Structures are given as structure tokens and as C-alpha cells.
Structure 1
Amino acid sequence: MPKPFVTRPSQLIWLLPFGYAFVSRYHWPRDFVVNALTAWVPGVILVALLGDLGVGQAVLSYLLGYAAFISVYEVGYLANDTIGLRHDPTPRRRVDLVPSTGFTLAFVALRGAALLTSAAVLGVATSTMFWAAIGALIATLIAHNTLRTVEIKFYTFLQLSLLRFSLPVLPVLIPGAEASTILTVFATGLLLFTLPRFLTYLDAKGRLRLPERKARDYHLKAHIAVVPLVTLLSVLTGQPAPMVCLAWGVLVQCAYVARGAGWWRAGDVARP
């Protein structure tokens, strides 16, 4: 009798798109809330302002874009938790899983279907630019999970972080978008999202010692430090979106610092 490829009820959740990411990366509530505040809300802001959409339509468009992105990225997560651990000098096992062939095939098939469906609904299923972005994500995931030299993996991590922020935003902007609009998304992500995470990654790999990074007000200061370049980006592109994203980030960090000082008790805004 053939062995089932799902041996535990929890593995059914892992099979669903976003299920594996939620269990292995976006733990509730801290990690989920941090991602919502630092990546997803800014992403919706960019979709709304750059795509000239209402809030409801912007949220829906972002969710579809995120579904397309996470469908590919979760395959990278699975590869990282299996193949990638063999080459990682500081391995971190996130889930108790040794995937069978059947599990892997079902995992990839479901995400392939979600990717194609999202692309079709967003109207980018035949877009060369969209598939080029997906291709860049896949190539970077493969490189990140197969490279043995950690100093080169810093480069793939930086690209993955930037694509993680930007790719869910791009599909709604691609039809008829100018290159400057797409580059605005990448530049905003680099300054407000990727740079802080890159420093965290360097620290996690033992290549950077920055004790001040753990201070409660560190990320607030970091956001304030990039005000000049974000302002210039908005002026050059004529788009207020980068400044609005920066204002949102500063607001989140102010709330986090205020909570630590005892001024704010509602909710739990964790440090990115």
C-alpha cells in the first residue's frame, strides 16, 4: 500500500499557499504583525498612490500580487529548509519536515496554480515584465539555496529582500507603467525595508556587530536618517508615495518607542 504524502494534519496547512510561510516564518502574532506593519501596509500604500486606486481595490490588488509572489517564495522557503541547510554555516531548522516526493509535487503544483490564477486575474499572465520579475526571483532563490559561500549569499539575500517587498506591488503597476514608477517601488523598498533587514542578516551570520541595533529607538532613528534621500526620490519622480511610506514607518516606530516608555498600551508593535 503506498505511503500517504501527508502524514500529519498540520501538513495539510503547509500544503496551502501561504500556509507554509505562516507556520515557518510569519508566527502569530509578533512576526505576522511586524510584516503587516513594515511590508504589507507600505505595499498597499504604493499600490494605491502609484496605481491611483481606492483603498479597497488597492488592498485586493496587493493581496493578489502577494499571492503570486508567495507562491514562488514558499518553494524557496521549502528549499531553504531542506537543501539550503546543507550549505548553511549557521543552519536553523524551522519546521520538523522531511518532505516526500508526493508532498513536494503537491506543494509546487498548488502554488503554480495560485501563481497562474493571480496573474490572470491581475491581467499580467502574458506580460513579459511580470514573468521577468518572477524569473529573477526564481534565479535568486536557486542561487541563495545552493551557494556555499556566505559572503556571496549576502548579495542574494539583499535581492530576495528587495523582491519580497516589491514584487507584490508590481503586477497592478505593470500594464502601461513607466520604468520610473517601477524603480520608485524598488528604491522605496531598499531604503525603508531591505536595508534594516540586511543589517539583521549580517548580524545573524556573525559578520556584523552592532549592539545599538537592539535599542528600542534604533529603527526610528534609521527611518529619520533616510529622510533626505526619500525626499529626493519623491521630488525626482513627482510621487508622494515614498514620503507617505516613510511617514507610516516613522509613525509605527514612534508607537513602538512610546509603548516601551509606557505611553502606549494598545496592541503590540514589535521591532522589525
Structure 2
Amino acid sequence: MPKFCAIRMRHLILLLPFGYAFVSRYHWPRDFMVNALTAWVPGIILVALLGDLTVSDAFICYLMSYTAFICIYELGYLANDTIGLRHDPTPRRRVDTDHRPGFIICFVALRLGIGLAATVAVGVATSALYWASLSTLIATLIAHNTLRAIELKFYTFLQLSLLRFTLPVLPALLINTDTTAILTSFATALLLFTLPRFVTYLDAKGRLILPERKAQTYHLKTQAAVIPLVILLSVLTDEIAPLICLIWGVIVQLVYVARGRLPLRALGVTQS
């Protein structure tokens, strides 16, 4: 493929909703699969069980809600890869493409239009709580990308991680204004999703030395460590959803550990 065509194709992919996230964060196959197994599947579980929906309805609802969410979150990714790099003590260029004004205008316009359409489709366009949640996300993204003090970015990252997990789940719960279910989704996100990523973020920024994090069994142990509190959460809320998410996470990590301990030949890998 000629270089000019390759560049145009790359810009087209980056313009499409989720395209920017896929190229810059969710690299295929590892990062994409990790996110699918640790965020999307648990999110669908919460939508199905807390929203009292069938699996197929929960999948569709989550997909539409995620589309609305990612359209806003990718604006934060773009800001992080441009403005945010100026204030980052450990900058990391994720997309090797210059963002010209025309590209940025199309990027923003497409996401605002598609995000609004997805919001209408999922049925929360008139929900004040949903718009308050999106406003919280936008305010946190702005703070995260403009703050110069790295010690404060830890707090904004924690909030962004929580919102990244819960915002695609919320629309199904906001329709019935189920406060208990909403808080349950946040607590589940904190225990099973956000805490491991927060430790990873601290490590990436050079503020935490934890060599054990590289061990293959580390994430399995982190899932096991929160079992008591997840059980308590299920008992207090009378909801089995957090426990099901925990069981799913443990299964995923067990498969990961088992796969890593298989002989190379069993995995179809040959050594040169």
C-alpha cells in the first residue's frame, strides 16, 4: 500500500469512534482481550443482573451505552496525547500522527453526534443523572489533562478508572433510578477493576516499586484478596452481581495462570 494511502487509512481509523482507543490503548490482541475480559464482560454481567435484563438485551444496552461513553472518553484520550503530554513527567507518545485542526474538528464532531445518538437510543437523553455523570467525566478528564502535580493526577486517575467501568453500566440502572444498584456497580468497579489499575498507574509513574506485580499469579491473588469485601457487598445489597463478577475474574485469572504454566509445545510455540 502506498504511504499516502496508508496515512489516509490510519486517519480514517482514528476518526471512527473507538478507532482512536483501539490504536492507542487497546492493541490487538492482548490489550483488547484483557479489557474485554476484565471490563466489558463484568459490565454486561452487572447490566443483566442489576438491570434485570436478558443477556442479549444486556449486551445491546451495554454496547449502546459504551458507544456513548467512549465518544466522550476518546476526547480525553486525544487531549491526553496532546495537551496532557506537556505536563506529564513521564510522557508517552501513543499515536505517531500529527493532529491538525481539520482532523480535530472532524474527530470532535463525529463523537458528539454519534454519542448523542447512542444516548437517545439507550433511553437516557432526558435523564438529569446521566448528564450529571457525563459532566463529572468531562470535568475529571479536564482536570487530569491540565494538572501539573503528578500526586493530584493519582486522584483524577482513580476517578476516571471508576467512571470508565461504570458509565457504560449506568444507563440500564438510571432508567429505573435504582440507587442501590448504581452504588453497587461503583463498589464492584472499585474492588475488581480500579484498585489493580491504580497500582499499575503508580508503578508506571515511578511512584511505586512492586516487582511482584510482574508475577503471573499476581492478579489472581488480587482477586482473592477482595473476596471478603465482595461477599459483604453482595450480602448488604442482596445482589449476587458483585459475586458473579468476582467468580468471573477468578476464572479468567486461573485460565491465564494455567495457560502460562503449560509447556511451550502445548501452546503451539516452538523455540528457535
State the TM bucket, normalised to the shorter chain. over 0.9
Structure 1 match to 2:258: 258
Measure, in 2, the Cα distance between the counterparts of 1:151 and 1:192: 23
Measure, in 2, the Cα distance between the counterparts of 1:257 and 1:176: 40
Matched to 1:23, the amino acid is V
Partner residue of 1:227?
227
Against the structure 1 CA distance between its residues 226 and 45, is the aligned structure 2 distance closer, same or farther, given a 3 Å change threshold? same
1:222-249 deviations in whole A, cap 9, x for unaligned?
A: 1011000000000000000000000000
Match for residue 88 of structure 2?
88
Deviation at 1:266, TM superposition (A): 7.2
Q: Distance in 1 between matches of 2:114 and 2:186?
A: 24
Which residue is equivalent to 1:58?
A: 58
Match of 1:115 in 2: 115
Matches of 1:75 and 1:194 in 2, distance apart?
A: 21
Q: Which runs of 5 or more residues in structure 1 are unaligned?
A: 1-5, 268-272
Report the RMSD for the aligned CA atoms in angstroms: 1.6
Q: After the TM superposition, which residues 1-272 of structure 1 pair with which residues of structure 2 at under 5 Å, given as runs?
A: 8-262=8-262
* 1:177 to partner: Cα distance: 2.5
Q: How many residues align?
A: 262
Counterpart amino acid of residue 231 in structure 1: I
**Counterpart-to-counterpart distance in 2, 1:266 and 1:50:** 38
CA distance in 2, matches of 1:240, 1:179: 16
Amino acid paired to 1:20: Y
Runs ≥4 residues deviating over 3 A: 263-267
Distance 2:97 2:140 in 1: 24
- 1:101: Cα distance to partner? 1.4
Report sequence identity in percent. 68
> In the superposition, relative to structure 1, how do residues 215 and 7 fare at CA in structure 2: closer, same or farther (>3 Å)?
closer
Q: TM-score, normalised by structure 1?
A: 0.94
Structure of greater relative contact order (alpha carbons < 8 Å, 6+ residues apart): 1
More helix by share: 2
**Cα contact 1:82–1:98 (8 A) shared by 2:** no
1:54 Cα deviation after fit: 0.9
Please give the alpha-carbon distance, in whole angstroms, between the structure 2 residues aligned to 1:59 and 1:259: 28
Q: CA deviation at 1:99?
A: 1.2
Instruction: Supply the AA of the counterpart residue of 1:51.
Output: G
- The alpha-carbon distance between structure 1 residues 76 and 261, as it changes in their structure 2 partners (threshold 3 A), is same
